[in-house]
Structure 1
Amino acid sequence: MGRTSLIALAVVLVLLGIVAANSLFTVHQTQQALVLQFGDPRQVIREPGLHVKVPFVQNVITIDKRILDLDIQPSEVIASDQKRLVVDAFARFRVADPLQFYIAVGNEAVARSRLGTILQSSLRRVLGEESFEAVVRDDRADLMERIKDQMNKEAEQFGIDVVDVRIRRADLPEANSQAIFRRMQTEREREANEFRAQGNEVAQRIRANADREVTVTVAESTRNAEIIRGEGDACRNRIFAAAFGIDPSFFAFYRSMQSYEQALQQGETTAVLSPDSEFFRYFTDPNAIPEGNAPVGRSASRAADLLARLEGDETLRSLLCAELERVAPTGGAEVLPETLPDDLPADQPIAPALEEGAAGAQ
């Protein structure tokens, strides 16, 4: 075979390759094809695989048969109660009729533009018939279904099937939202202040009741203490009065001893007195008798013993007060010390002696 034959064979093979490339085409499983002859649709191919067309005369355009996404910019809608809403929605669609799609819109970009306009008009038409609460809360699912049905009626002429419509967000405009937020915040603050005022009122009432109870309790305690103190002072005065009535000279002696104890305490006090003054009469003579008083006798010594024991015995003190009250009307206060035995030991209780003396006085 000569060189010319080889060249001719190569040319033939190249031409056959070119013809085959223009005659065969592949349709992907996610696509559907439309065969055009000089721009005139001749065949719709929906099945994937290898297909044949007339070379150099026919051409093929592919259309996606998957579900496609349509997203639009948020738009403002006025509800039936005249409240403005900013609605953000999207749709899902697919090309159901490639031939109708090609004749009506030509390509996917034009189809998205037309569908976006249809979606916005359907949103305004459907949502404009409903109230704010129905759009935001109550009937959103039903409203989205109605929007999809209206879109399908208009998109059918484009060979498009709208699969789904969703409202992503439906809110008040930003200015309205801020105003509503401020109003809600003011309302919550007012309620909080009201709750605080009620709490302060209850707290003040509780504090006032507590203060009143404290004042009443302290007053009652003070009154009881004063009563007890007064009763004790009265009993003490009665004892000293009875002792003074028994022996005035002993009482003068006892009071002098108390004066010595108070006046001669350890310290810086200096007293300049005459040795023969009335203040020091018991220093020179323990048995001194003040002028106008009877001698200090056995009654005084017994009364002194009685008072000495009385200072440290509260029970004895109360018994003595009761006994003096009982016998005072009959003059028992004067004879009571006389009823004590002369040989009563210092550590013997005086109450039995008082009982014996009271029985003897009667």
Structure 2
Amino acid sequence: MSESTEAPCNKRITLVRTFLILAVGLAVVISACGFILSETEKAIVVRFGKPVRTLTESGFYPRFPAPIERVIRIDRRLQHADIRLSETLTKDQRNVIIPAFYTWRVEEPLTYHNSVGSVALANEKLDALITSARNSVIGTHAFAELIAPVGSPTNLPVIENDILALAAPDALAQLGVKLHSVGITRIQLPEANTESVFRRMRAERKREATKFRAEGNAQSATMKAETDREATRLLADAKRQAEEIRGNAEAEAAALYAAAHGSDPEFYRFLRELQSLRTIVDKNTTLVLDTSIAPLHWLKNSENPDSKLTPTLPAPAQAPPTNLTQNPLLNDAPGE
């Protein structure tokens, strides 16, 4: 009973082992006679060292086992690198340092394999091509075209497109790679030229400042002249109007005075004589005058019994000195 049971078990074990051996052998044969190409790769099938096929699509592909055929895999992903720092000349003969980056991927695997064969060597060749194209393009632009004030557009996108257009055909034909983009990271000045550039910039700014100051002074002088002319005109008009008003007022005052004085000429003459006395003498004035003439005859007290002055000489010509400030006629005169 045990022998009859062991026989089928041994057969099953033998079948399983045989199946596993065949599966492993089939896997080995398949791996030796075929390969899988991923989405990130391109491949070149080489038979006895000679390329026979170029594969660009992913999938499973048959082949003869090694050493008959060999598969060379090439990375098809986008690559990125920077060019080496170096000086270049602008159109106006100014030294500048313009670092740049570039992106590329393999477009023709066979040309790429025959010319470079590796990413490092491809970057070295592309560095030379892009540097040469950059020097050619920058040589057609002045230094002022490379910079712009903050917020203003620059010519850098145009320069980048020109560099890409100049280097891309050579890269594809010589290296089998396609350049996708070229970009300028910054613009630098050599240390030896930095100070001279700053001096030139300061001189240009100073020249512009002098120009603006001169224009401002000219405008200021023009505005000042116009203001002075307008002020002179306004003052002349104001004086003319003042003189007209003053003349009209004086005419009206003279008419009023004439009307008032015309009603009593004797009183007017008396008032004017008192005003003359008030103008001639003051409190500290002592005069020796003939009181027989107007208006000094009003100082005589012979006709004013209330006067405090007592003449000592009968003759008018020999009248003693008289203190005019003590005369009540002066003190009580109208207008005091």
What is the TM-score normalised by the length of structure 1? Answer: 0.54
Q: Percent identity?
A: 17
* Cα separation, partners in 2 of 1:135 and 1:152, compared to 1, 3 Å: farther
Instruction: Quote how far apart the aligned CAs of 1:97 are.
Output: 3.2
1: CA distance, partners of 2:100 / 2:114: 28
Report deviation, 1:114.
1.4
Residue 306 of structure 2, aligned match among 255, 269, 277: 277
Correspondences of 1:1-362 after superposition (within 5 Å):
2=10, 3=13, 6-29=16-39, 31-36=41-46, 41=51, 43-55=53-65, 57=67, 58-65=69-76, 69=80, 71-72=82-83, 75-91=86-102, 93-125=104-136, 127-128=138-139, 130-132=140-142, 136=146, 145=162, 148-149=165-166, 152-153=169-170, 156-158=173-175, 160-163=176-179, 166=182, 168=184, 173=189, 175=194, 178=198, 181-245=201-265, 248=266, 277=306
The DSSP-based 3-state class of the residue aligned with 1:20 is helix
Letter in 2 for 1:104: S
Superposed CA offset, 1:253-290 (max 9, x none): 9x99xxxxxxxxxxxxxxxxxx9737xxxxxxxxxxxx
Between 24-33 and 3-12, report the one with greater CA deviation: 3-12
Superposition deviation, residue 31 in structure 1: 3.3
Alpha-carbon distance in 2 for matches of 1:142, 1:201:
47
Distance 1:250 1:235, change over 3 A: closer
Counterpart residue identity of residue 221, structure 2? E
Inter-CA distance 250–9: structure 2 relative to 1 (3 Å threshold): closer
1:16 Cα shift? 2.7
- Change in Cα spacing, 1:5 to 1:113, as seen in structure 2 (3 Å) is same
Amino acid across the alignment from 2:173: E
User: How far apart, CA to CA, are the structure 2 residues paired with 1:17 and 1:68?
Assistant: 35
Amino acid across the alignment from 1:243: S
Q: Compared with structure 1, are the counterparts of its residues 223 and 80 closer, same or farther at alpha carbon in structure 2 (3 Å cutoff)?
A: closer
**Whole-Å Cα distance in 1 between the matches of residues 144 and 261 of structure 2?**
100
The CA distance in 2 between the partners of 1:80 and 1:116, in whole Å, is 22
Q: Residues 249 and 169 (structure 1 numbering): CA distance in 2 closer, same or farther, change over 3 Å?
A: closer
Amino acid corresponding to residue 72 of structure 1 in structure 2: I
Q: Is the 8 A contact 2:164 2:182 kept in 1?
A: no
Q: Using the alignment, how far apart are the partners of 2:268 and 2:15 within structure 1?
A: 174
Q: How big is the alpha-carbon RMSD for the aligned residues of Structure 1 and Structure 2?
A: 4.4
* Contact 2:163-2:182 within 8 A present in 1 as well: no
Q: Secondary structure at the match of 1:234?
A: helix
Paired positions, count: 256
| Cα separation, partners in 2 of 1:224 and 1:108, compared to 1, 3 Å | same
> Runs of 5+ in structure 1 lacking a partner?
257-274, 279-362
- Kept in 2, the 8 Å contact 1:78–1:84? The answer is yes
**Alpha carbons 1:32, 1:98 under 8 Å: kept:** yes
Q: Secondary structure of 1:232's partner?
A: helix
* TM-score in terms of structure 2 length: 0.57
- When residues 250 and 44 of structure 1 are mapped into structure 2, their CA distance, relative to the original with a 3 A threshold, is closer
DSSP-derived class of the 2:93 partner: coil
What's the CA shift for 1:27?
2.1
Instruction: Return the structure number with greater helix share.
Output: 1
- Alignment partner of 1:34: what SS? strand
Q: Which amino acid aligns with 1:277?
A: D
CA distance in 1, matches of 2:173, 2:99: 24
Counterpart residue type for residue 169 of structure 2: N
**Aligned-residue offset at 1:34:** 1.7
Task: State the Cα distance separating 1:149 from its structure 2 match.
Answer: 4.5
